[in-house]
Amino acid sequence: MPSRDPFRESTVASRRNRPAKAPLSRDAIVAEALRQISQDGGGMSLRKIATALDTGPASLYAYVDDLSELQALVLDHALDEVTVGETGEPWRGRLERLLRSYAEVLSKSPTLAQLAFQTVAVGPNALRIAEALLEILAEAGVEPTTAAWAIDMMSMSMAAIAAGHAYGVDPAAPDSPVRQAINRVSADQHPRVHAAREDIMSGTGEERFAWSIDVLVRGILSSGQPHP
């Protein structure tokens, strides 16, 4: 068995069933992790999961190789909620809804957003989303090679946007670090930044998100055509 698939065989089927305690299982661990991630402080850890499951940290290693494997499982489980749309819809609206759904799901927690680009997403749900994206781009008339690269760039962008969103890096906030820094720049040292300081902090998160998607779509569609 040279390369096992961490996503198959979701239940290792604990043979042991102790009287008053539900047996551990991979699903139970992932579920608890997901619960922690979208709860209180949003932080997840093997030890907290173990405590919540009323056991010790070492017990989890029977069902999960590694923290990184658990993270991959959690990420894919979270991607369950991403809506992919129907085949019949016009591609442009469908694409925007899909990407928005993707970013929204990842924005649920800073931890989740961070997971999204520090672990390469290759689980059933990531594949489902990739399949839908390829379908949409094909309908938009994008070349297969371009489309293959585009889904990479789109996932990456959504993850990055979600991370920014979830980390609370809102430039519009009155005490935001960027606002403080921007307001400190002098007109002589950085005239253009100084002049653009209003624009830099303008727009709601929603507006900037829509603009980002638009830039992405325009760029991808015009890829392959000659420059104007």
Query: Which residues bind to its own copies, rule: CB under 8 A?
Result: 3, 5, 114, 117-118, 120, 122, 127-128, 130-131, 134-135, 138, 144-145, 147-153, 156-157, 159-161, 163-164, 167, 169, 175, 177-178, 180-182, 184-185, 189-193, 195-196, 199-200, 202-203, 208, 211-212, 214-223, 227-228
Instruction: Give the CA distances from residue 187 to residues 78, 86, 128, 174, 191, in Å, rounded to whole numbers and listed in that order.
Output: 46, 52, 50, 21, 4
Q: Which tokens sit at 9?
A: 């065989």
Indicate which of its own copies, DNA, none lies near residue 178 (CB less than 5 to 8 Å, by partner kind): its own copies
Q: Say if residue 97 is exposed, middle or buried (CB neighbours under 10 Å; 0-12, 13-18, 19+).
A: middle
Of 151, 140, 135, nearest in space to 87 by CA: 135
The entry of its own copies, DNA, none near residue 203 (CB within 5 to 8 angstroms by kind) is its own copies
Q: Which does 48 bind (CB under 5 to 8 A by kind): DNA, its own copies, none?
A: DNA
Q: Which stretch binds DNA (CB under 7 A): 8-16, 134-142, 192-200, 206-214?
A: 8-16
Query: Which of DNA, its own copies, none does residue 63 bind (CB under 5 to 8 Å by kind)?
Result: DNA
| Number of Cβ atoms within 10 Å of the Cβ of 11 | 10
Q: How many CB atoms lie within 10 A of CB 82?
A: 21
- What is the spatial distance between Cα 218 and Cα 211, in angstroms, rounded to a whole number? 10
Tokens of 46: 């093997």
162 binds DNA (CB under 7 A): no
10 lies in the binding site for DNA (CB under 7 A): no
Q: Longest C-alpha distance within the chain, in Å?
A: 75
Answer yes or no whether residue 177 interacts with DNA by CB under 7 A.
no
Query: Does the protein bind DNA through residue 181 (CB under 7 A)?
Result: no
Partner from DNA, its own copies, none contacting 100, C-beta within 5 to 8 A by type: none
Shortest distance (Å) from residue 46 CB to its own copies: 19
Which H/E stretch holds residue 100? helix 91-106
With respect to its own copies, which residue has the nearer C-beta, 12 or 215? 215
Nearest CB to DNA, comparing residues 13 and 198: 13
Query: Residue 43 interacts with DNA (CB under 7 A)?
Result: yes
> How near is the Cβ of 213 to DNA at its closest, in Å?
33
Pick from 2, 3, 5, 15: which binds DNA (CB under 7 A)? 15
Q: Which tokens go with 180?
A: 């403080």
- Strand blocks (E) in 38-184: none
Tell me the CA end-to-end span of the chain in Å, nearest whole number. Answer: 53
